[in-house]
Structure 1
Amino acid sequence: MSTNQATGDPAGPAPERTPNGQGALVVEGLTKRFGTRVACDNVTFSVDYGEVFGFLGPNGAGKTTTVRTLGTLLAPSSGTAMVAGLPLTAENGVEIRQRISVMPEAPGLYLRLSVAENLAYFVGLYELPDGRARIERALKAVNLLDRADDSCRSLSKGLRQRVGLARALLNDPKVLFLDEPTSGLDPVAAREVHELIDALRKRGVTIFLTTHRLAEAERLCDRVGIMNTTLRMVGRPDELREQLFSKSLEIRTREPLAQPERVLAGLPGAESWHQTGDGTYIVAVSDPQLAAPEAARALVAAGADLLSLSPSQHSLEDVYLQLIDTDVEAQSR
């Protein structure tokens, strides 16, 4: 199937922007090559201040390369970007890094040190002023102030992730890059990280989230970009579902309809229908809300024992699988 090239236009009402109209990230035609291999190609999107933006795609799709490039760790082969209000150039590298933070999947803590000692080390490394106050604010933000003197070795993986997030908050970043922050966490620990991300959103922190957990992205993200070397689509999850899938009703009856064509094809706004199982039918309609009451009346009039009737629900996973049909990493082996 053909895919849509993403645009940099924000979906829905415009989120907060700076006075000069620039978002937190504005990326135009970003491309990175390693020899003959293209890691990311002509990537264009924008992220607004205070937005949680999800970056999704299979392994090898170019997500990490894009993040490393925007984080000044790699130089782009071509294209331009504005990061936290600054052009992405070598000359601006130090100042950009002062305005952003990157939390990798493995937080890289010194396990023999306490939580506070780990944070103090990074305060000194980055030459941040008011270190004691910064550490206290960061620990409060992740609800770990009472664990400040605990050895990092004694912490669960979920708590270590929270320490890593505290470290990323030490410089009060304008943009926070989170790379798989809940990878390997149990459901309770993952939920705690989700709550922290929600709290950061409320504080106005811009979050760029890469994740393989599609339900996580659907819950947390204002918009998502789906990446597979090129950026396939950008938008709100509900907007992407509407673009990729036709509107339809799912109808379940106790027994198969004796004359489904007669009942279903005559529904107001019905465009097509098909049977997916004994007594289960999908009817494509122009407006599910208007068609549902008419469908219920028609089915009852036809003598059907109606079990359920509802708009068909497509998840972000359905959108992802519709767009991503290639395992890039497997092809490169």
Structure 2
Amino acid sequence: LQAVTRCFGELTAVDAVSFDVEEGEIVGLLGHNGAGKTTLIRVINGLLRPDGGQVRVAGLDPMTDGHLVRRATGVLTEYPALDDFLTTRENLEVYAAINALPRRDAATQVERLLEELGLWEKRDEPARELSAGLKQRVAIARALVHDPRILLLDEPTTNMDPVAARNVRQLITDLVRRRDRTVLLSTHNLVEAEELCDRIGIIRNGRLLLLGTPAELRRRLGGIHGARITTSPGETDRAEAVLDAFVRRRNGSSPTTSDRTVLDAPFQLQLLDEQTIEVTGAVHIPELVALLVRDEIDVHAVRPMQPTLEDVYVALHAELAEAPAAGDPTSIDPEVGA
């Protein structure tokens, strides 16, 4: 995509968005409802004409080669839109016929998808009798029935219970890793985006604000980094003394507060309870653990701390809210990993 824009009257739903998705990659579009994610997917698939910019899908222009683009892509919309009067199997067979699959190949593919997605027992039930989660699974099978190289998934786990949602996420991962598929995923589910995506683009009001790996996004917007270290009861005083000496050395600082937090320093040390010490800052965790072990202090657990994608998302919105006078939000460089 290069500077893609789509308007509805005076509303700019997609505003000069540019990014590439590499073959075999899962890229997520993360944003609130109304951010422009669904509109962008419809533009990519040729269902909406862009008002500006350029779209290419496997080298094809969706506006002039729409039928070829749709043959190469599998699309899952937020709502299943099944034919309620057809059975699960018939819904898949109709879509296989629309995509001109030979009958024998279609039958094999439909049966495989029914098995893989746990729909075999529901194969002869009318779609109107299926639960919302099952309908969504049928819609996913329909998107895969013609074995597309590219998947455009709009909120794929909507209306699913946690177990079904986990199964779908696993299926998406398997499709990419085992079958070398490419996925563009639209979601407002932060956990889903972090679990699935190689790169994540954060969209707000039609604009791509940031694009990068989860790790790159965390580095870009900061947050708490460090570790919580658990020792044996009675060992925390010794452990704290060792770590405190390390923190003082690293910070070039001597005084500490009563709760053992180093003042105005890049490292902070705090005793949380009789067994747990928290160290935050640009911490090299193996070095800290090595210090404790060297002094024969028991280390039962080390839990790294880093910002979640939710922290990143909230921090970005807070950053934009704090500086409305700074101008265009797109002054943030979207390609944080560049």
Q: TM-score range by the shorter chain?
A: 0.7 to 0.9
Relative to the length of structure 2, the TM-score reads: 0.74
Q: Cα gap change, 1:70/1:277 in structure 2, threshold over 3 Å: closer, same or farther?
A: farther
Point out the structure with the larger helix share. Answer: 2
Residue 80 of structure 2 is aligned to residue 107 of structure 1:
yes
Residues 4-59 of structure 1 deviation map (CA, whole Å, 9 limit, x = unaligned): xxxxxxxxxxxxxxxxxxxxxxx111122223322122211111122222111111
- Unpaired segments ≥5 residues, structure 2: 231-235, 254-264, 322-338
* Matching of residue 213 in structure 1 with residue 185 in structure 2: no
Counterpart pick for 1:316 among 295, 305, 309:
309
8 Å contact kept, 1:84–1:100: no
Shift in alpha-carbon separation, 1:236–1:66, aligned structure 2, 3 A: same
Alignment of 1:121-160 (within 5 A): 121-124=94-97, 126=98, 128-143=100-115, 144-145=119-120, 147-160=122-135
Match of 1:63 in 2: 37
Question: 1:248 — aligned with what?
Answer: 225
Who wins on radius of gyration, i.e. which is larger? 2
In the TM superposition, what is the alpha-carbon distance from 1:184 to its structure 2 partner? Answer: 1.8
Structure 1 residues 141 and 265 mapped into 2: Cα distance closer, same or farther (>3 Å)?
farther
The one-letter amino acid of 1:72's match is: G
Match status 1:34 vs 2:8:
yes
Q: What residue number does 2:266 align with?
A: 272
Residue type of the alignment partner of 1:120? E
1:120 and 2:93 correspond? yes
What secondary structure sits across from 2:46 in the alignment?
coil
1:267–1:295 Cα contact (<8 Å) kept = no
The answer as to 2:60 corresponding to 1:86 is yes
Is residue 229–residue 299 contact of structure 2 (8 Å, CA) maintained in 1? yes
Partners of 2:124 and 2:188 in 1: how far apart? 33
Q: Is the 8 A contact 2:224 2:307 kept in 1?
A: no
Q: Which residue of 2 aligns with 1:11?
A: none
Higher-strand-fraction structure? 1
Structure 1 unmatched runs, 5+? 1-26, 328-333
Shift of 1:235: 2.0
Matched residue, 1:182? 157
When normalised by structure 1's length, the TM-score is 0.75
- Once residues 269 and 286 of structure 1 are traced to their aligned partners in structure 2, the CA distance between those partners, rounded to angstroms, is 15
SS in 1 for 2:65: helix
Q: Once the 2 structures are TM-superposed, how far is the Cα of residue 146 of structure 1 from its aligned partner?
A: 5.1
Q: Is the 8 A contact 2:113 2:145 kept in 1?
A: no
RMSD (Å) for aligned C-alpha atoms: 3.4
Q: What is the one-letter code of the residue matched to 1:170?
A: V
Question: Against the structure 1 CA distance between its residues 156 and 245, is the aligned structure 2 distance closer, same or farther, given a 3 Å change threshold?
Answer: same
State how 1:11-30 maps to structure 2 within 5 Å: 27-30=1-4
Instruction: Report the equivalent of 1:23.
Output: none
Map of 2:168 onto structure 1: 193
1:65-105 Cα distance to aligned partner (Å, 9 max, x none): 111111111111211121122134x2222222222121112
Work out the CA distance in 2 between the residues paired with 1:288 and 1:252: 10
Query: Residue type of the partner of 1:85?
Result: G
1:100 and 1:119 mapped to 2: Cα distance?
16
2:289 is aligned with 1:283? no
Aligned length: 295
Hey, what's the Cα distance between the residues in 2 that align with 1:49 and 1:115?
31
CA distance in 2, matches of 1:49, 1:168: 18
CA distance in 1, matches of 2:6, 2:124: 43
CA deviation after TM superposition for structure 1 residue 194, in Å: 1.7
Amino acid at match of 2:219: E
Measured at CA, do residues 296 and 245 of structure 1 come closer, stay the same or move farther in structure 2, by a change above 3 Å? farther
Contact 1:268 1:294 in 2 (8 A): no
Distance 1:222 1:139 in 2: 30
2:37/2:203 contact within 8 Å kept: yes
Residues 61 and 127 (structure 1), Cα distance of their counterparts in 2 relative to 1, 3 Å cut:
closer
Q: Read off the aligned partner of 2:47 and give its amino acid letter.
A: L
Q: CA deviation at 1:109?
A: 1.2
